[in-house]
Structure 1
Amino acid sequence: MEPSIEIRNLSFAYPDGRQALREVNLSVRPGEKVALVGPNGAGKSTLLLHLNGILRGEGTVRVMGQEVAEPHLARIRAQVGLVFQDPDDQLFSPTVFDDVAFGPLYAGLPEEEIHRRVAWALAQVGLEGYTERISHHLSLGEKKRAAIASVLSMQPDILALDEPTSGLDPRTRRRLIGLLQELPQTMLIATHDLPLVAEVFPRTVVLDEGRVVADGPTGALLADKRLLKAHGLS
């Protein structure tokens, strides 16, 4: 079966010269849930931003068999739902409905289908009845769920989430974990939340200084105290 995500020899440096990724190789199967962990500056967020072409490095990134480059970018950006760490970077419309409807509207879907998708996406994240709420008046947890709904409305094949539980209170975090467990999409997440990783993600990839230093079953990696300590995860 063709991988949902295939990354080969990916390297990337920011304009200031900082090398963020170094010869990264990663393959993710359809339906697989994979966690990216590592210290701050390891390259986790940078890697996610390559999945829909926001960043372009040296090497090859393929999504659903297509290289992340023109003329495939529009299709790939519909297939990859990227959720930023700060939901305020994602929510820019007056109301929750407008934010969640933005993708389907931009895709030219009929009005009836747009309303159907918005209702479905909000139900998935437990925000039924929020359509007329002002996005920037929501709590952090509500904003994070609205941001996830804004990508679910495009019915993506892949979800890429950057620190989805950061800043959440325990109750909201628990609700988000339940959502991530239920969603069927292929999932790649960047996080420092190791209990979340243990509960939801069967496979974990450890990044440090832009390199993959470990890749395997989550239980085995999280039980390796020497590995965790060596890479700032203990």
Structure 2
Amino acid sequence: MAPPEPPPLVVEGPTFSFTAYLWAAGLTGRSSTLPPLPTTDIDISFVDALPDFDGGIMGAGEISWGRWHFLTDIMLSQVSPEGSLLGADVELRTRSITLQQDVLYRVYSDATVDLDLGAGLRYWHLDNRLKIGPTALVPGGVDYDVNEDWVDPVLAARAIVRVSGPWSLTLAGDIGGFDVGSKLTYEVVGLVNYRWSDSWTFHTGYRLLSVDYENGDFLYDVRQHGPMLAATYKF
């Protein structure tokens, strides 16, 4: 006798969730984002960058419909360190935007584990501006602005493991670039989740985001990494 076929997947209406998060990321790597200035090594902790941090937006949204999941993540930040050079005021403004859209398909699910696989696009925007006040050598001062934009295709995966009661673990990541935008980009996220109610879930964990992009004299080969705190509202 042939084994019974599994019951068909019941597709209900879509569900929506929004996550607000704080990522206390440091920055390490190499950068030349104001050519023709030389390439510099970077090693900045979140605490070091905090005094010059002007503000930012960090959030993610997800639409789930059956086995399909559509994820959007956006990060916007600006830092403006200041100093002096030969008696002139110096200001460097760095504004960055990272926007990602992924489509995932749930390839496996049971009482303990959900496994999603998919692909997406990650858009990068960097805007760096250097201002130097008037000096005897340069009476008019310096106002130099460089913008760079690129898009990376990525392959993505996510696993959700239900541990006990309201507790669960999430491990997610992607890899891409493939010389379409950057040479290589990858991301790894590990979270511990606590479901407070049917609507609210809280998260803590660690995130690493790396990119190696080069276009002529413009170089951005950096890794952002640090702890995360987040809250998700599902409706």
User: For this structure pair, what is the TM-score category when the shorter chain's length is used for normalisation?
Assistant: under 0.3
Larger Rg, first or second structure (1 or 2): 2
Query: Per chain length, whose mean CA-contact separation is higher, i.e. which structure has more relative contact order (CA < 8 Å, sep 6+)?
Result: 1
More strand per residue: 1 or 2?
Answer: 2
Report the TM-score when normalising by structure 2: 0.21
